[in-house]
A and B are shown apart, each in its own frame.
Chain A
Amino acid sequence: MIKKFVYSQKVAPYVFVLPFILIFLIFWSYPLANSFVMSFQDRMLGQDPKWIGEANYSKLFTDKVFLTAIKNSVVYMLGTLVLLIPFPMLFAVMINSKLMVGREFFKSSFFLPALTSVAVAGTIFRLTFGEMEGSLMNSFLGLFGVEPIKFLKDGEWSMAALLILACWRWTGVNMLYYLSGLKSIDNEYYEAASIDGASAWQKFRAITMPLLKPTTIYVTTISVYAGLAMFTESLMMFNGNNSPKNIGLTIVGYLYRQGIEKNKLGYAAAVGIVLLVIAMVINLTQLKLSGMFKKEED
């Protein structure tokens, strides 16, 4: 009986996807549904929940601090898209080139930062961008006679610092995605193009870029979400969730402040739902525009 069941061709696929389905239902769908319900409640741990309708949402959209958090997260996300897609692609093409010296060295040194803990890296970046004269950045700028800058008290400087941290950490990872994308491009295309007399730039434009499109779409999708959901970097950079004038506050940071620090779980759930909606809207639009939903035409 059991043997029959296990060897059944009809059942086997379901058995194989079962772990995923279970994980999805238990750790994703259930909490999501629960958060959705919570976002309509006034809820604190240890107290009985109260149903308050859409009050959390109407409060949220007049909440200036939340709007600041959205602005910060969106700017950060756009910044990572601008910096973390073209450059890793370029580096991958360079490293993939046979003319490149020390390819393995560059590959691993680009990837190394991704292995360090954000907590450690964030702390080091905080000290690097400290406002003291003796901090790394300020002593470097001091060589050129620049007065010490209070990096982490200024909105633009601190966003730049966060983006530098993101680039330092993620360039290698995105580059690796592109490298694996490049490996799957058949060399014959390039040979054919060479015979037709195409320049390196033309080959890049007409062969590499279009064939890397699936990779680019994947990297964009995860970058949009990672950018919007950024939290730990800011927490470490500002040594806590409360940055001056909220310049480092992100959507998840606000969720943490309301839910964990202030025990307003209902309000925090509403923040989480809004984050999900924003990320979904951006990504679905992006996927639609890039034609991911069309059936493959061959």
Chain B
Amino acid sequence: MKKRSTLISIVTILILSLVLSACGKSDDSSNSTQQLGANAGENATELSFWTFVDLHGKHLDKMLGLWNKENPDKQIKLNVTVMPYDDMHNKLLLAVTSGKGAPDIADIELGQFPKFLEGDNVPLEPLNDVFAPYKDAVVPARVAIYSKGDQVYGFDYHVGATLAFYNTEILEAAGVDYKTIKTWEDYKQAGIKVYEKTGKYLGTADTSAIWQESYLLAQQNADFTDENGNPKVNSPEMVKALEMLVDLQKNNVIHTIPGGQPDTEEAKGEYNKGNYASALMPEWYMSRFVNEMKDLKGKYAIAPLPVFEEGQPRSVGLGGTGTVVTKSGKNVQLAKEFVAFAKLSKEATTEIWNTLGFDPINMDVWKDEAVTKNPDNEYVQYFKTNAFDTLNEIKDEIQAIKSVKASPTIGNVFNTVTLNAIFEDGKDVKEALDEAQAAIEQELK
């Protein structure tokens, strides 16, 4: 009798472990696939789309509604799969290079893009023919970053112009007017006051993203790589940029943040609690405020970034996601036409601002006040100032940082080793950068 009950319990445990591990599997991938295009008829073509941002699916859903209405003969049903960032890019790279299992349409983040353009057989479809009608309305720098030679492979959602977001409630409590912050010296003095009066930090010292280095380099007309695409991360401009940040950190103006940079779950929690008084981030960070930091509504104002010396360019387009069409799809031409419509048309770019809150790459929208100042828009309601007032002020100063073959490696070394060594361990800036340069060169050999 005893034996039998032992046997039964062992079998139960085995079955349970099978069931539980199966549950575990589906949790791991945290994928969800959803079919969009409810208004499509029975003859609609089915296409698939992979993305790592839930909101991007929402945008394509709206565009799909319009497309199916305007093109009754070319209707589409779209299967959208949302996956975590690393997961999606790794799977996509494997799928497109092996030619099996890839979706028709996919989002590829700018930093990952060079990996997909390596070698002679690019697995993505050139989009030149569908791009031609929009060529003159679009910011050229935002197309160049997704091109190889004269072939265009991806369309971005936004320019991603860097802006300064200030928490006016905290700044007022410290007696600081954000409008007077023009240079980094002003920013430092403001931060010292904020820390003395409120005990809060004005900004972040990022250890897991290179936004800060990017805009500080762009302000000095420099880059991470030289004109041949070789890394030069220990340049005098980079040393100047990081030494300035270290000086801010020593004066308690900026401080490292849980999560390592403003665009992480942990960091957004810290912002929402009001522990940091400003975020100097690309324009798309607005959507994170509106969707994920609801407690801050009505407290934040938008202004241009501080610079080393007045007259330097105050913004750079950062981040970005190119929507691409893969070569292995069944209906490549239809996918291309839809992507161009959903990303570049006036309707699309208006919608990109309305649902995603991004600064669209089709600049016709920037001048259309009916769109940019629409009082019903949640991105207009949330902030104390209008984003497009600042954007139009700086629109001729928006620089670009090149995305080349070495970029993913540079990002990887900075985000794992270099920035942690500098801001967490207090390592000498020049020394850390020399080591980074050596590590990157070794890796690229």
Residues of A at under 8 Å CB distance from B? 44-47, 59, 62-65, 111, 114-120, 130-132, 150, 153, 240-246, 260-263
Contact = CB atoms under 8 A, between A and B. Distances in A.
B94 A45 contact: yes
The residue in A44, A111, A115 that gathers the most chain B C-beta atoms within 10 A of its C-beta is: A115
Contacts of A64: 439, 442
Contacts of B269: 132
B179 to A, nearest CB: 33
A120 B27 contact: yes
Given A63-B442, A245-B420, A119 B90 contact: no
Contacts of A260: 90, 93-94
User: Which 6 residue pairs across A and B have the least CB separation, nearest first?
Assistant: A117-B24, A46-B97, A45-B97, A119-B28, A244-B420, A47-B119
B312 interface: no
Contacts of A111: 13
Contacts of A59: 445
A241 B258 CA distance: 18
A44 B258 contact: no
15 contacts: A44-B119, A45-B94, A46-B97, A46-B119, A64-B442, A115-B16, A117-B24, A117-B28, A119-B27, A132-B266, A150-B424, A153-B420, A153-B424, A244-B417, A260-B90
Nearest to A121: B24
B24 A246 contact: no
Interface residues of B, number: 44
B221 interface: no
A95 B424 CA distance: 46
B115 interface: yes
Contacts, number: 91
Contact of A263 (B13, B24, B27, B97): B97
Interface of B: 13, 16-17, 20-21, 23-25, 27-28, 86, 89-90, 93-94, 96-99, 115, 118-121, 123, 207-208, 258, 260, 266, 269-270, 408, 412, 415-417, 420-421, 424, 439, 442-443, 445
A47 B121 contact: yes
A44 B97 contact: yes
Contacts of A115: 13, 16-17, 20-21
Contacts of A47: 118-121
A245 B98 contact: no
Nearest to B90: A260
Nearest to B20: A115
Given A46-B123, A120-B24, A242 B207 contact: no
A262 B115 contact: yes
Given A44-B119, A45-B98, A131-B258, A242 B24 contact: no
Contacts of B207: 153, 244
Contacts of A262: 115, 408
Contact of B416 (A62, A244, A263): A244
Contact of A130 (B123, B258, B416): B258
Interface of A is mostly: loop
A261 B123 contact: no
The residue in A45, A120, A131, A243 that gathers the most chain B C-beta atoms within 10 A of its C-beta is: A45
A63 B413 CA distance: 13
Contacts of B20: 115-117
Given A244-B424, A246-B416, A262-B115, 4 more contacts: A44-B97, A46-B121, A242-B415, A263-B115
A44 B118 contact: yes
Contact of A245 (B24, B86, B421): B421
Contacts of B266: 130-132
A183 to B, nearest CB: 11
Contacts of A114: 17
A267 B390 CA distance: 48
A122 to B, nearest CB: 10
A241 B87 CA distance: 11
A12 B98 CA distance: 42
Contacts of B443: 65
B121 A62 contact: no
A187 B98 CA distance: 60
A64 B442 CA distance: 9
Nearest to B99: A46
A217 B24 CA distance: 31
B19 to A, nearest CB: 9
Nearest to B23: A117
A261 B86 contact: yes
Contacts of A263: 93, 97, 115, 118
B265 to A, nearest CB: 9
Nearest to A258: B443
Given A46-B123, A130-B266, A116 B24 contact: yes
A80 to B, nearest CB: 21
Contacts of A132: 258, 266, 269-270
B2 to A, nearest CB: 12
Contacts of B208: 242, 244
A246 B97 contact: no
A68 to B, nearest CB: 9
A63 B441 CA distance: 11
A245 B418 CA distance: 8
B10 to A, nearest CB: 10
A242 B121 contact: no
A117 B408 contact: no
A119 B119 CA distance: 35
A33 B228 CA distance: 39
Nearest to A261: B90
Contacts of B99: 46
Contacts of A131: 258, 266
B118 A117 contact: no
A245 B97 contact: no
Nearest to B120: A47
Nearest to A154: B424
Contacts of B416: 242-246
Contacts of B23: 117
A102 to B, nearest CB: 16
B21 A117 contact: yes
Contacts of B24: 116-120
Contacts of B97: 44-46, 263
A245 B435 CA distance: 13
